[in-house]
Each structure stands twice: as structure tokens, then as C-alpha cells.
Amino acid sequence: MSIEKFNILESTCVPLPVENVDTDQIIPARFLKATSREGFGENLFRDWRYDKDNNPKPDFVLNNSQYSGQILVAGKNFGSGSSREHAAWAIFDYGFGAVVSSFFADIFKNNALNNGLLPVQVTEEFLAKVFEAVKKDAAAKLKIDLKKQEVTLLSTGETCDFEINGYKKTCLLNGYDDIDFLLSKKDKILAFELTQNGS
Amino acid sequence: MEAKTLFDKIWDGHVVDSVENGPDILYIDQHYIHEVTSPQAFTGLENRGIPLFRPDKTLATVDHNIPTQNQHLPIREELSRLQVATLKDNCERHSVKLYGLTHPFNGIVHVIGAELGITQPGMTLVCGDSHTSTHGAFGAIAFGIGTSEVEMVFASQCILQPKPKRMRISINGNLNKGVIAKDIILYIISKISASGATGYFVEYAGDTITSLSMEARMTICNMSIEMGARGGMIAPDEVTFDYINGREFAPQGEAWDQAVENWKKLKTDEGAVFDKELDLKAEDIHPMITYGTNPGMGISVNEAIPALESLPAVEQESFKKSLNYMGFEPGSKLLGHPVDYVFLGSCTNGRIEDFRVFASLVKGKKKADNVTAWLVPGSWQVEKQAREEGLDVILKAAGFELRQPGCSACLAMNDDKVPAGKYAVSTSNRNFEGRQGPGARTLLASPLTAAAAAITGKITNPADLM
Ligand code: SF4
């Protein structure tokens, strides 16, 4: 099995300058009843996107045709709260390939990486510049280069490095899958179990 | 020998292998699953054509998506019914033990794991649920995972995890009147914020913590995730051993003596180094309540909501958005504000002690007419014990009724939804927008503060009623 490869992503952005966006906002609990992974994008940010009669709320960014692209840019502590992987599925399913923020919650970060959605953690200053650039010109683009671990604001040429652990980077660049990797370690796992039972 | 933290001892003892420049392969002793985050993992496993590696180390329950009334009837809502049925099928096909609807051991995953004696000191435990941190109260490494990771554990009983940093939060001194475990953890989160412990695994220590019961310790570890921590833990001691002893799946006889001997070694060595330390005084803690839409937005019930100017400029926009949702003014007081709903329950406060303190406060009083109260035990065993202790009679006399166990209004996946715009004082763990129903306004508090609100119909300091 494999996941989609990630190399370079160059795209316009969808700005969401809100802090502490929790996974309950990304995908509310009432949409977690499905037993497959598909179709969550439809309900991405459901309660921010639609009013209670299911009419799109014009002031929400996903309903603003000015903004589009494969990169979601959000305020700090993105993805906090519930461990629901459905949040990563919803963002990916909607069409995003990366989320840029100055801080990510741990579980969300793992979930995103496990689905080929790249969490790009940048400095507060860089994030502020991206928001500013996109505000000025909705066509402003970001270029995310995974190999170089670098994100560039193309309109100004400013860059920012980002961290990713070496293992996950290799997985994403090559489309490797964690479970295949773990299964290749079966001997070690069985040996470990023997030491546990003996103790 | 090098001085080690409790966390390091357990973690290092479970590393099967390390990936260079990457995560550890961590062996998992116990895997808990529930209906919402497991179906796609089972499908993934089946698509690969591989079996579940260690079904005997997996336990399933249904809790998130079930009604809290008439559980003997088919679930009305089709998708919920299907999800519950899917878990049953999956468990049968893969030989996983399931405590399904109406089973005497059924309940919220984090409540039953502990009360059945399955969670034990020194273990590694995971569940596709962020409040797995609850089990850390036993001196275990327990944390929430995503569905892809559930599939990893199904396939290999292991998980790939970068090792988190270590933080110790020490609390010493005596607690004030009306202050219980929930207030302690809400206080901690209000001090360090909803992201203050991201990247860390927290050990709670100090004499205030060691003086707490096992259930109170679970309440504290439960909400570690609300400050972003990977998990929280408390070193096991006599309180821990006494709690486990005699439970359904606890070791017995000689095995018990051997286990306790091993467990006694599970503590942080003198001189072990943490990446971050925080010291707090118990006397600074008062009954707490949240006013905003993340769990870090908490104050003592007597205090006022912070004024806008008191916050850094970058945070003001989010703060305004949050208060706007809640219908509160910066700088105003909450005391006396009318309350529409009260929810006692969840994996934070759905255990027997929570029902005891709630009952102790409402005893001989009457529920306020303007309040709808949902009292939802965390498991059937809690429900049974509440009846055996006569709590149901006390509650009934005061105008309350017990519902059937489940997650209920904690996340409102079932019918227990707080209507838009209504205020709910809730003993659960999250006050996010819409968490208890679209538009619902949640104020997190302890079972005592919830009881006080249920009696007076408004936000009240429980210490004033004691
Ligand atoms: S009670 Fe609430 S927080 Fe706990 S497991 Fe259920 S939904 Fe999650």
C-alpha cells in the first residue's frame, strides 16, 4: 500500500486567521457517523460555513470565491482537541494538500502526516506576512518544498524553514506507508514480546 | 545509574526499535477501541488482507454514538445504528472482546478500562480517542491516536511515535472549600493555556496530587490533552494498588504480589531532569468555570472575565470571537448568570465519586425549574453502584433522574444536544463551539459547581451552599 507522494506544492492560499481552531470546528461530531473515509470534505468547517438552514455564510472564507487553492493558512494551535482523524480527512478531501500555521496540536499533526496532508509550521512573523500578502492580493502564492523543508512567499521571495522528522519526510517523498514499515519489523516485535513475557 | 523520570522508564521499556532520525516503534500493552474511530481501521486491515495481530490485547465498547434512554430498543438514527452494528461485526470477525449495548460492563471506554482493572501501572495504552490520557492516573503511558494509528496497532501491536518531552507539574498544599479535582485541572489549563503543554508528556506530582483518590486523579489526567499534552501521568502508590485490587481483570494471588512489587518501582528518581517544571499552590485554586470556547479560558467562579485590554493584541480578535459566541462581555462577572442546562457525566466526571458529590450538594434541595439536567453515569457499573448506594433516591427527591450510560452531551453525537444559544454548565472536558450541539454555549465546571447551578438555576459558587 502507499500514500500519495508529496514533493513541491505551489498554490494560492485560503486564509483562516483564527487561533485554536479545534477539530470539532473542522468536522463537527455529528458528521463522524460514517464508516468509510470518503466524503468528509463536504462538511469541512460545517458550522462556520453554513447557517442552521444550510445556507452558506457569506463571511466565511470557504464561501468567498476570491480565495481558493490547495493551501490552508490558519492561526496558531491548529487542530487542537479531539483526536478524530476525520479532521485531516475532511481537509484533504476538500482539496487541501498542506496546512500552514505557527503551531499545530500533536495528534492532528500525526493524523495529517499519515494522510499525506503536510502540516507546515512556520514562525509567527512569517505567518503574519502570509496573511498580509493574501489580504492584499488573493492571488498571492506559496511554494512549499518538502525536500528543502522550506516555504516561500512567492510575491516577496521571503522564505521560512520548517521541521519534519526524517522518517516522515522519506515516507511522504516516496509515498511509503507506515504499516508496511511496521510489518517489516515483525521479527523484532515478536522478539520483544518474548522478553516481556519472561519478565 | 542515571536518574530517570517515570515517563522515561515506561517508554524506554516499550521501545521495540528506533528509527534513525525518526520515531520510536513503541509496543502497546492495551488497545481500547470504540465505534467512531475504528471502522476505517478495520477496513484498512481487511484491504491489506492481514489479520488483527493481537486481538487479546484489544477491548471494544460502544459509547460515543448511543442514546442514553431506552438502550434496549434499536437505535433510531440510521447512521448511528449502522456504526454500532459495524463495530459488532468487526469485533466478531476479528475475535475482539466487545462490551456492547446493555452489557453489564459497557460504558465510556476510559471509565470501564479503569474500573475493570485492565488499566495497570507501567503499561502503554492507546485508543482512537484523545482522552486516553485518563489512564495515566495509574502510572501508565496512555495517549490518544488517530484512525491510521489504530490500524497500525491492529496490524502490529505497535505504533510509530516520536518521544515527547517531559514536563512536571507539582501542586502542594491543602485545597480550599468547594475545590475538587476538576477545579485543579481547569486551573492548571487556565495558567498554561490550551496549547501550553503541546509536545510534552506531563507528570503530576506534589502532596496535593498524592492526597487525591484514584478517580480524582483520573479527572486530572483526563484533561491533560486540553492543554495540548500528549498525555498525563501520576506515579502509582498505595491508593492506586488499593483501587485495582480485586477488580475483574486485576492480577490475583501470587501474580498480584509480584505485580505490586514491580509497580512500586515505578516512580521518578530523585534528581531526574524534566524539560519543563511548573509549581503551583493548592491554596490559589478556587472553584473554576470556563467562560470561552477553549478549555484554557477559565476563571474562578467569583472572578470577572478578563478585560480585552489585558490581552496581547494578537489574541484579541480570537477572544472577541469567542466571547461573542458565548454572549458574554469582556470584564463582566459570571456569578448569577442564568443557566439552562446542567450535564453531569463524561469520562472526566462520570464516575461514582462524581455522582456522590453531586448528590451530596443537592440532597434535601430542589432542582431549579429553569434547568434541564442530564445525569449520565460513565458506565453501567457506575449506574448500578449509584443505585446500591441510594444516590438515585436522593437525586430523585431533589428532582433529578439518572439516564443510561454513554458519552451523551459531552459531544452530542446522540440526541442529548443543548439547543443553540442555551447555556450549559457541564462537567465534561470541552467547551468548543458547537461541542454540545450547534450553537450551544458550554461552561465547564466541577460536579459540585454543576450541582450548585442545577439548584439555584444560575452560576453559583458551590462553597456558598456547603
Ligand atoms: S465522554 Fe466525551 S471526551 Fe470522553 S470519550 Fe466520550 S466523547 Fe470523548
Q: Among B242, B276, B310, which residue terminates a domain? A: B276
Separation between Cα atoms, residue A1 and residue B156, nearest integer Å: 15
Condensed to tens digits (0 to 9), the pLDDT of residues A175-185 reads 898 999 999 99
Instruction: Please work out, in degrees rounded to the nearest 5, the angle formed at the alpha carbon of residue B349 by the alpha carbons of B343 and B352.
Output: 110
CB-nearest partner of B86 from A30, A35, A105: A35
Q: pTM of this prediction?
A: 0.95
Q: Is B15 exposed, middle or buried (0-12, 13-18, 19+ CB in 10 A)?
A: middle
Identify whether residues B233 and B334 lie together within a single domain: no
Condensed to tens digits (0 to 9), the pLDDT of residues A51-60 reads 989 999 999 9
In percent, the amount of chain A with pLDDT more than 90 equals 89
- CB of A34 within 8 Å of any CB in chain B? yes
Identify whether residues B24 and B161 lie together within a single domain: yes
CB pair distance less than 8 Å for B145 and A110: yes
Predicted pLDDT at A146: 97
Q: Computed over its alpha carbons, how large is the radius of gyration of chain A?
A: 18
Predicted pLDDT at A198: 47
- Whether B1 maps to a domain, the answer reads no
Over 80: is that where the pLDDT of A167 sits? yes
| Inter-axis angle of helices A86-94 and A106-113, nearest 10 | 50
Residue given cell 515516507 in the structure block: A171
Over 90: is that where the pLDDT of A4 sits? no
pLDDT-derived band at A2, boundaries 50, 70, 90: low
Identify whether residues B171 and B239 lie together within a single domain: yes
Full residue range of the structural domain in which residue B397 is found = 288-465
Nearest CA in chain B to A107: B145
Identify whether residues B123 and B199 lie together within a single domain: yes
Identify whether residues B78 and B163 lie together within a single domain: yes
pLDDT-derived band at A197, boundaries 50, 70, 90: low
On whether ipTM exceeds 0.85, the answer is: yes
Question: Using an 8 Å Cβ cutoff, are B424 and B437 in contact?
Answer: no
Identify whether residues B183 and B244 lie together within a single domain: yes
List all residues 6 or more positions away from A130 whose beta carbon is below 8 Å from its beta carbon. Answer: A13, A15, A73, A100, A122, A140, A142, A153
Q: Which of B290, B281, B285, B428 is nearest to B354 (CA)?
A: B428
Residue ranges with strand state E in B257-380? 276-281, 288-290, 298-300, 341-344, 372-375
- Whether B283 maps to a domain, the answer reads no
Total structural domains within chain B: 2
Pairing of strands B441-444, B423-426: parallel
- Whether B352 maps to a domain, the answer reads yes
- Whether B460 maps to a domain, the answer reads yes
Identify whether residues B61 and B169 lie together within a single domain: yes
| B-chain residues near A167 (CB < 8 A) | 19-23, 160
Q: Among B217, B241, B276, which residue terminates a domain? A: B276
Q: How many CB atoms lie within 10 A of CB B271?
A: 8
Separation between Cα atoms, residue B131 and residue B122, nearest integer Å: 18
- CB of B192 within 8 Å of any CB in chain A? no
- Whether B305 maps to a domain, the answer reads yes
CB-based burial, A39-66: b 16+ in 10 Å, e otherwise:
ebeebbbbbbbbeeeeeeeeeebbeeee
Asked whether B34 lines ligand 1 (CB < 6 A), one says no
Predicted pLDDT at B402: 97
First to last CA, chain A: 36
Predicted pLDDT at B315: 86
Identify whether residues B333 and B265 lie together within a single domain: no
Quickly list DSSP for B362-397.
Answer: HTTS---TT-EEEE--SBHHHHHHHHHTTHHHHHHH
- CB of A154 within 8 Å of any CB in chain B? no
Low-confidence stretches of chain B (pLDDT beneath 70): none
Q: Which residues on adjacent β-strands are paired with residue A142?
A: A11, A153
Q: Which residues on adjacent β-strands are paired with residue B330?
A: none
What length is written for chain A?
Answer: 199
Identify whether residues B378 and B437 lie together within a single domain: yes
- CB of B411 within 8 Å of any CB in chain A? yes
Separation between Cα atoms, residue B432 and residue B429, nearest integer Å: 9
List all residues 6 or more positions away from B27 whose beta carbon is below 8 Å from its beta carbon. Answer: A189, A192, A193, A196, B14, B15, B16, B124, B157, B158
Asked whether B129 lines ligand 1 (CB < 6 A), one says yes
Arithmetic mean of pLDDT over chain A: 94
Which of B90, B195, B346 should be substituted to probe chain A, the one whose Cβ sees the most A Cβ atoms within 10 Å? B195
Pocket test for ligand 1, best of B83, B347, B382 (most atoms within 8 A of CB): B347
Identify whether residues B37 and B166 lie together within a single domain: yes
Identify whether residues B13 and B94 lie together within a single domain: yes
Asked whether B428 lines ligand 1 (CB < 6 A), one says yes
Over 70: is that where the pLDDT of A1 sits? no
Over 70: is that where the pLDDT of A31 sits? yes
- Whether B426 maps to a domain, the answer reads yes
Q: What CA–CA distances, in Å, run from B143 to B68, B150, B164, B431?
A: 27, 12, 11, 21
- CB of B353 within 8 Å of any CB in chain A? no
CATH (domain of B121)? 3.30.499.10
Q: Which of A83, A146, A88, A86 is nearest to A112 (CA)?
A: A88
